Every structure is written in structure tokens, then in C-alpha cells.
A and B are shown apart, each in its own frame.
Chain A
Amino acid sequence: MNELNAIAAIAERDLFKFLRDRARLIGAFVFPFLLMFLMGGTLQLNLGKAAGFNFIGFTFTGVLGMTIFQSASQGIASLLEDRQNDFAQEIFVSPISRYSIVIGKIIGESMVALAQAAPLILFAIVLRVPLTALDILLLVPVAVLGCLVGGSFGLLGMSVINDQRAANQIFGFILLPQFFLAGVFNPINVLPWYLEILSLISPLRYVVDLFRGVVYMGRPEYHKVVLLDPEINLMVMALMFAVFIVTGTALFVRRETNR
């Protein structure tokens, strides 16, 4: 029970931190909206007819996946910031399990990511993306799964990086190519073999594709937009989550105590 209380307290702290940071709040809401509006709008006008599907809806699912994944993965890296501010020591000298710290952190950053996803869905409705109530309901568990994969990916990355500055640079370097390899804004049905390999090992690809699988289920353009069956995406995400969380936690805990 103590561990559950501790996990809740650590998770709550991250959500409060986000809600109290005005600049981060504004950026988190405005940036994805602009991406959806500008990118989706221009792609739809220029390529929509030729592609045979609506690019605003396509970009919405991509940006939703990207926001969830990026927020959760980069949020975990804030443990590095905590350590530099020496706040992490307070958590690490407490008698809770190291695993509870990591789980609390992932849940907290997942809540932050979900808080950012909610206005995106509202923007999508405003921009007339055809979403049913069932679609919206199904987006919630997919978003939670996307957070878990993003958070565990962030944990693995953070466990081999030493400081926040390096983390920001390296995460940017790892995440930016993934936006294109995962098809956040661009279709990736056809890729040269070397980019196909890189795309297949990008976790974000499966998160975005699962969002699309849910939103486009039963629609005529489903096979033009969705790459893999949702079951396959789910299995790959579960496997990636398991590998990332076990390796990341082990490396992180070992490094924290063996410094």
C-alpha cells in the first residue's frame, strides 16, 4: 500500500509541475494545433485528392501519437533534471522501491501527455475530422498505451545519458527522424529498404499506426492509411514496452547506486 501511495504522490508531482508551468502549457497546446492546422491543411489542399484520404485526419492521428509519445518520453528525462537540482536525492533516500520511483514517473508523465492530448481531440472536432463518440472512447486506452511505450522508451534513453542538456539534444536527434519514419505527417506505405528498416525499429511508428487503426476502422480509406492490423501493433508495442522498461529500469537503478 505504501508503494502505491508513493507512486501516486510521485505521479501527481509531475502533473502539478506541468500545470503550473505557463510557458510549457501554452507551448504544449499551441504547437500541435499549428502542426495539425498548417501541415494537415496544406497537405490536404495539395495532395488530398491524389492520396484518396483526408490529410487533416491523417495528420491529427499522427500528431496525437507524436504528442503522446514525445511528451511521455521527454518527461521521463526530467528525472535527470531532478538529479541536477538534487531533488532526486530526496526521492532516492526514501524507503520506497526504485521500481516504484520509475513507475510513478511514467504514470505522472503519462498524465501530462494525456492532458496534452485532450485539447488536440477538441481541435480535431473543430477541424471537422470525422470522429464518432466510440472513436474518441477508443482513443483513450490507445493513448495510455502510447504513453507507456513513450515513457519506457524515455527511461531507456535517460538511463544511458548523464545530464539534462545532453538528454534534450540526444532526444531531439532520436525523435525528429522518427516523426518522418513513423509517418506522422507523411504516408510511409512505400519506403526504400534502408528507411524501411529504420521505420520498423521506430517505436513511434506502431503508436501512430494504432491510433490510425482505431480512427479509420471500418472506413473505405482504411487500407490506404493503416499499415498493420491493430493486433500486430499492440503486440509489437507490448514487446517494446517490456524490453524498454526492464532494461531501462535495471540500467537506471544500477547507475544511480553505482555512481
Chain B
Amino acid sequence: MWSADAPAVEVDDLVKRYRKAKVNAVDGISLRVEAGEFFALLGPNGAGKTTTISILTTTLAPTSGRIRICGYELAKEPSEVRRRVGIIFQNPSLDRNLSGEENVRLHAILYGLYPYRPAFRLMPDEYRTQVRELAAVLGMETDIQQPVKKLSGGMQRKLEIIRGLMHRPSVLFLDEPTRGLDVASRRSLWAYLREVRERYRVTIVLTTHYLEEAEQADRLCILNHGRIVAMGSPGEVRLSPAEEFLELDATDRAQLRLELKKLNLNFEEDGAFTVRLDGRSAHEVIRSLDVPLTRLRTRQPSLEDAYLKILADE
């Protein structure tokens, strides 16, 4: 029996090489996601994020490596793993020929939550109440009976999340859940996801291209070419590779340029001077300058700075 204190996801040396491929799509990944944690996988296209998620959700077989989800060995007990995970796929996975409720009902029956009945009104009271409550949370009480093809993209995404949560999964995998959504739908979806996290205390594993989404995570992991190139809290990842910057300006810019060159500092000029500290302290640099400054500001690296630096260093 899985204890809630144990890691929700444990991955040891995971490797995946697709048939006929010359390189590994996932190349020796090891990671742990604690129960209740919000964990983000970040990386450029082809980094191995979706491959990793597909393996963790049992839709793809790994080439090698050991995976445990909620204490269950994925290779030996895939059905137990499937019972404990929910997934929102990168591409919408609703059946467009069915209504929203019929999609939810199909899911509930596949997960053994309720017996099969051919119509909503014939389903047990408990199911009908659960669907009505979930629909109310999303404000789609009437829309849920509509054919999926009539729902907006944002509404379809929410419906997928409702469906994915029906069986109360311990771990919810979200594979680029906001891809293709407009800004308003993205915000509304994230507000809903925050509510879901608080209400169900579910572990979330997210893959995303959006750095501002990854920044919300407790911890994030940057993948590139199938390998982990950075992992930690957003703050740790932000600070680990990227340098602090100084923004300087002076009336005598020629003199400032000369002094910065004498100090062997790397800088960019775009009106003002953006100076990379390269391990030196801001105080030390300022003390070494004689030219009177008209502007002085330190700049912390953003997650985007760190992300780009990490990928560039690869």
C-alpha cells in the first residue's frame, strides 16, 4: 500500500529509443516528485517531455529504466498505475461525436467507478450529483449535455480536466494543457487548476513551453536532448547558471566604455550599458569605476534568462 509520504513519482535512469531512431529520445533521466508537489518539465521541442509523460502514463514502453508511481512498479503493475493517474493530453482527447457528459460517463465506466448504463438519467444518483457539481464549478451546467464539437477550446480543456479527475487520481499529468488556448482561456484554466490542487491535494506533473506557467511550480526540471540539464525550485534554477547584471549609464559614455573594457567586463550597449558581472560583486565593480554614473541598477536574472543560458551552455 502506498503511503502519502512516499514519492508520487520515482524515475531511475529512464531511457527511450524509438524504433529506427539513432539517438535516445529520453537519455537516462532520474527524478522524484513528492506527493502533493507541483512539478514542471520544461524544454524545447524534441527535448523528451511528451515521451517522458507518455511512458509515465503507460501509453509508451520504455527502452530501459525503473519507474514507480504511487509505490507501484510501472512495468509490473500498469493497471494499478493507471488507476492512480489522470492525464490531460497535449492534443484534445475527447470524442467529438459524444456529448460532454457522455465523455465523462465513458471515462467513469472505464475506470470502474459506476456500472454501465446507456443514458445519463439511468446512471446512479451519486454519478449524476458528481457530474452536476463538477459542471457547476465550470459554469457549464447546460453545456455539459451539448455535443463536444459545439464547445469552445477552453471549455473542452476544462471538460478534459473534469473527466481526468473523476476517478480521483493521486497524480495528474498535464501535457502542455494550455497549448492553442487564448490568454483568457489560459488564465481561467490555471485558476481552475489551482482550485483543483487545493481541493483534491493532487500531485501535478506539467509539461509546458510557457515559462510563466513553469514558474508557478514548486520544482521544475529542464530537459534538453532527452537529458536533465537543470532541476530545482524556480528560484534555484533561475540563479544557478545565469549571472546578475548591472545596468549603468554615464554622461561620458566613452569614458565608461573604456573603464569597463579595462576591467575586462562583458557588456552590451543599448543606450545604457548592460554589464555581466561574471562572478564579481556589483559593489566591487562600482568601486572600480571613476566616471560619474547617471544610472545604476542591479538586475536579477529571470527564469527565461536562466533557461536560455542553460540551453546555450548545452
Contact = CB atoms under 8 A, between A and B. Distances in A.
Interface of A: 1-2, 4-6, 8-10, 12-13, 16-17, 20-21, 82, 85-87, 89-96, 256-259
A55 to B, nearest CB: 39
B59 A89 contact: yes
A93 B83 contact: no
17 contacts: A1-B115, A4-B116, A5-B114, A8-B109, A9-B105, A9-B110, A12-B118, A82-B95, A85-B91, A86-B89, A89-B59, A89-B93, A92-B58, A95-B112, A258-B19, A258-B61, A259-B60
Contacts of A2: 112
B26 interface: no
B79 A95 contact: yes
A96 B80 CA distance: 10
Nearest to A96: B110
A4 B115 CA distance: 9
Nearest to B80: A95
B85 interface: yes
Contacts of A259: 18-19, 60-61
Given A9-B110, A12-B118, A257-B61, 20 more contacts: A2-B112, A5-B112, A5-B114, A5-B115, A8-B116, A10-B110, A12-B116, A13-B97, A13-B98, A16-B102, A17-B95, A17-B97, A85-B96, A86-B93, A87-B94, A93-B58, A93-B87, A96-B110, A258-B19, A258-B61
A94 B111 CA distance: 6
B82 A94 contact: yes
Contacts of B112: 2, 5-6, 95-96
Contacts, number: 92
B106 interface: yes
Contacts of B85: 93
Contacts of A8: 109, 116
B92 interface: yes
A21 B61 contact: no
Contacts of A9: 105-106, 109-110, 116
A87 B110 contact: no
A24 B58 CA distance: 34
A13 B82 contact: no
B57 interface: yes
Nearest to B87: A93
A5 B109 contact: yes
B201 interface: no
B84 to A, nearest CB: 9
B95 A87 contact: yes
B257 interface: no
B107 interface: yes
Interface in B118-144: 118
Contact of B110 (A1, A82, A94, A256): A94
Given A5-B112, A6-B110, A87-B93, A92 B59 contact: yes
Nearest to A84: B91
Contacts of A257: 58-61
A95 B93 CA distance: 17
Interface string B57-94: 11111000000000000000001101101010101111
Contacts of A21: 97
A196 B171 CA distance: 58
Contacts of A85: 91, 93, 96
A90 B93 contact: yes
A95 B92 contact: no
A89 B82 CA distance: 12
